[in-house]
Structure 1
Amino acid sequence: MRSVTPDAVRSRSTATRIGLLLAVVSALAFSLSGPLAGALFETGWSPGAVVIVRMAVGALVVLPLGIRALHGRWDVVRRNARMIVAYGLLGVAATQFCFFVAVQHMQVGPALLVEYSAPAAVVVWLWLRRGQRPTRATLGGVALALVGLLLVLDLTGARVSLVGTAWALGAMIGASAYFLLNARADTGLPPLSLAAGGLTVGTLSLGALAAVGLLPMSASTAPVTLGGATLPWWSALAVLGVVAAGVAYVTGIAAGRRLGARASSFMGLLEVLSAVLLAWALLGQLPSPVQLTGGALVLAGVVVVQQGEAAAARRTTNTLAASARRRR
């Protein structure tokens, strides 16, 4: 039984704080994709073209950094090759493609609700597959967050399609895999390297889908309008690739390794709130009182889940410390 020292407790607390900060940065970075992509759609870009360029730019930026982070340890890549491919196919490509198809059959709000139920799926998976029983606080936070998400997405009058729901469930599975694989801290693979590999595999996979016509492609060089300002088309794509893909995935992986899959997946819900606020600031889409109330509930749910996870970690630490004292 390993002993628990005060230094180890302080180190774990510091790692949690850093993980929370990284998770917030990741959620904010991901949320930029909505307003920027929306502005590009207005000029004639197709969703498929925006997604592929976003991933490709992210891969080009992160790949050199990921290679450098390996320090020549290519054996780590070989050992984790299947995980990298799974991350790229599920966490990157499947999430994007399934959501893209889902919104062709149903409205965006219900599709987002299904996809963003991923944190609840992560809780159930860890409970059933790994025996990590959630605390009452975690379950309460799940309920609060899901109710808040319903209000934020404002599903009044929304139409539900069985086909669309099936594809949205595919996006949810991909998002769940993203959080679960992010939390794998035993691989020896640096976050930069996993992000680089995942973005590369995801880009190639989406490119193959576009090549066979499953992802319609159209683009435009017309300027985009954001927050009343007119910007060149390439600047929106650059921010999408560097920030909403590169920074978002790297910080998401780093956060997952410090917080674990459950806590980091709920922190990911902050992306929905940030996207609503950015749509307000950049596109003039004022959130309704109901959406603001939902946002408060989502935040409350995230806080409750984090407190529940922290309490569970403290109990584990105290148990280990008591066992170490008895051994002496």
Structure 2
Amino acid sequence: MTPVELSRTVLGAVRRAVEDGELSVAVPERVVVTEPGPGGCGDYATNVALQLARPAGQPPLRVAEILRPRLVGTGGIRDVVVTGPGFLNLCLRRQGDLVADLVGDILRQGSAYGHGDALAGQVVVLRVPYEVRAEVVADAVARIVATQGGRAVVEHGEPVNVRPVPAPEDPAPLGADAARWALLHPAPHDRPRITADHLVQRESNPLFRVRYAHARVRSLSRNAGRLGFAAEPGPLAPHSLLTPLTTPLTAHPRILTAAATHRAPDRLARHLVAVADALLPFAVCVLPVGEEKPSAAHRARLALAEAAGTVLAGGLSLLGIDAPEHL
């Protein structure tokens, strides 16, 4: 986290304190976040409490006490220590802690991970033509809208507001799962390909990669059980493939919100491909190799893999596609 990002986080804490009536002061346009000075501690420090004390009519230490609980646990801040006349010293969470928190959140929330309230109380009317792709897209949009607290109503009639490029032929011969993927994965303005390519089990098939990645996670969990250990979120040993996997997992809530607000299930489909493509190389380091004994790192890696599998299963379900245990 950069000083600029921390500055925004501190401003957010000030804004919340003002909205809650605990500070009566104009929210400044910016606050300075620097390295701690003599007597300070942590990773960064800010004098915002001293800056606001006079206009707020309160001692700097009191302003610091008001802001501290609004900063702890937000924006990657692990702890806040008040020193001197009212300096706020910010202790950041380490990368390993952030990953463990992310994995723990996903495993606790399960298929509800990424659900929010961006469309809370809203009724989204989807007017579609009598055409198979439009019907499938509307069905997926309705599922995704529900994850954001909204409710979708599908109607037939003019004016149509959901009109993807129609399928060139009947996708039914592909089977339910491949047919839905063929219709949902392309952007609405792209013509879907209704070909047997969606059925082949090879890396060139995005649907196969997504479903295989999920099945691979389930296999890892079964094999870990046979070796006597289970998933447990925690710090991971340094691994060059870590960041490519955590990045799409962190982005999942944002992708769901965008897919719901823009009525774009293709965004979710492409996101699942990104998760699968990041997961498959990482999967090779999850289980012990040779005479290696299961360790805390293996349990943490398995937890990260299971978190990715949870996102894949939940995403496929929203698209109306089965997530197989075996493939």
Flag whether TM exceeds 0.5 (same fold).
no
* Bin of the TM-score, shorter chain as denominator length: under 0.3
Structure with the higher helix share, 1 or 2: 1
Provide the TM-score with structure 1 as the length reference. Answer: 0.24
Structure with the higher strand share, 1 or 2: 2
Provide the TM-score with structure 2 as the length reference. Answer: 0.24
Larger radius of gyration: 2
Structure with more relative contact order (C-alpha pairs < 8 Å, separation 6 or more): 1
